[in-house]
Amino acid sequence: MVSRRCLVKSKPRAISDTSFISVMHDIGYLNLCSEVFEKIYVSQSVYDEVKQSGMRSLMAQIEELIGNKFIIIKKCGNVALVNSLRSFLGSGEAETITLALELKDAEVVILDDLKARNLYARLGVNKRLLGTIGVLKFMFTHGISKESVDTVITKLGQAGFRFKKDLFKDC
C-alpha cells in the first residue's frame, strides 16, 4: 500500500544516531522507516557501535538495509569538530552532528539524547531535528503504523522513553 505522504512529496533523507536505529529495531519499526525516509545516513562510529555491541539481530537487519542501499555509511571529514563534540557526546552522536553539517543532501537529523539534541540546537544547523518519538508520530498520522498508539507508547516506555502520553494520543 502506498502511504498518503508518498503521493504528495518526495521523502526526506535523514542522518541518524545509534539510539534511533536500535529503538526502531527493538519495537519492530526499522523496516517501516523506508516509508518515511528516502535513505538514512549513519556515521562510521554508529555502524561500529552496532557491530561491536554483539546484537546479532540488529546487525543482521542493518546489513540487509545497507544491502538495499537504504542505510548508507558515511565518514566525517571534520575530525576536529568530532573531537570537540566528543567532550560532551559519544562518538556516534558527535559524528552524526558533524555529518549534519557536512551532508548537503540530507534534510533531517535524528537524535534522541536530550543533551545531544540541545547541543545540536545551539549549533544552529539548518536541518530539521527529530527523535524517535517524532518519527513514530509521523508514522501514525500518515497511516504507516498499523498498531494502536497505546501499544507503541508501551513499547517506547520499555525502550526508556518517558513523556506525556496525552500529546501522542491525537493520532
Partner 1 sequence: MKILVEKKEFLEYPEDVKLLLSIALYEVTPYSWDKIAEMLGFNPLILRERLKAFGIPLHKYGEQEMLGEIEAARNL
Q: Which residues bind partner 1 (CB under 8 A)?
A: 5, 12, 17-19, 22, 36, 49-50, 52-55, 58, 86-93, 108, 112-117, 128-131, 133-135, 137-138, 141, 158-164, 167-168
Minimum distance, C-beta of residue 129 to partner 1, in the bound complex (Å) = 6
Q: Would you say 12 or 73 has its CB closer to partner 1?
A: 12
Q: Specify the residue, 102 or 113, whose C-beta has the smaller distance to partner 1.
A: 113
Rounded to a whole number of angstroms, the minimum distance from the CB of residue 72 to partner 1 is 19
Closer of 70 and 161 to partner 1 (Cβ): 161
For the CB of residue 69, give the shortest distance to partner 1 in the complex, in Å: 21
The β-bridge partners of 64 are none
Q: Largest alpha-carbon pair distance within the chain?
A: 45
Give 64-96 as a DSSP string: HHHHTTSEEEE--S-HHHHHHHTTTS-HHHHHH
Residue 13 β-bridge partners: 39
CB atoms within 10 A of CB 162: 7
Minimum CB distance to partner 1, residue 142 (Å): 9
Nearer to partner 1, 15 or 93 (CB): 93
How far is the C-alpha of 104 from the C-alpha of 127, rounded, in Å? 10
Beta bridge partners of 16: 42, 110
